[in-house]
Amino acid sequence: ALAGCASIGIRDSGLELRITPSPVLRGQPALAEVTAPMDAQKVVGTVLVMGSPELVFRKNVEKNIWYFYGTIPFSPWVNPGTYKVRVLVYSAHEKPHYTESQVDLK
């Protein structure tokens, strides 16, 4: 189990992930923001369920934040519940850093 965790990168308690609204509502837009360094190469999130797409974050230099804004689909495959979200921050000269958070979906 530890080998699997090491392969995804380094857990970083300095990364703060905020998801609004809380709870997230199916069929409604949601915003995820993470305090990743502005010189990161890319920031990618995923909901830890089978078949979840990559959520590619964008950089807002003025607010010094990386963000993803999108609508959670209202479908029979996306059920209400509690899910874990992982965000990976990729930099040029080190292993990816990541943070995780729980999100409630209604």
Q: What is the pLDDT of residue 67?
A: 98
Adjacent-strand bridge partners of 90: 42
Amino acid at residue number 67:
Y
| pLDDT at residue 50, rounded to an integer | 79
Burial class (CB in 10 A: 0-12, 13-18, 19+), 62: exposed
Task: Specify the pLDDT at position 73.
Answer: 74
Element containing residue 5 per DSSP (H, E): helix 2-8
Read off the pLDDT of residues 24-77 as tens digits, 9 standing for 90 and up. Answer: 998 899 999 999 999 999 999 998 887 788 899 999 999 999 999 998 777 777
Q: Which pLDDT does position 7 carry in this prediction?
A: 67
pTM, full prediction: 0.88
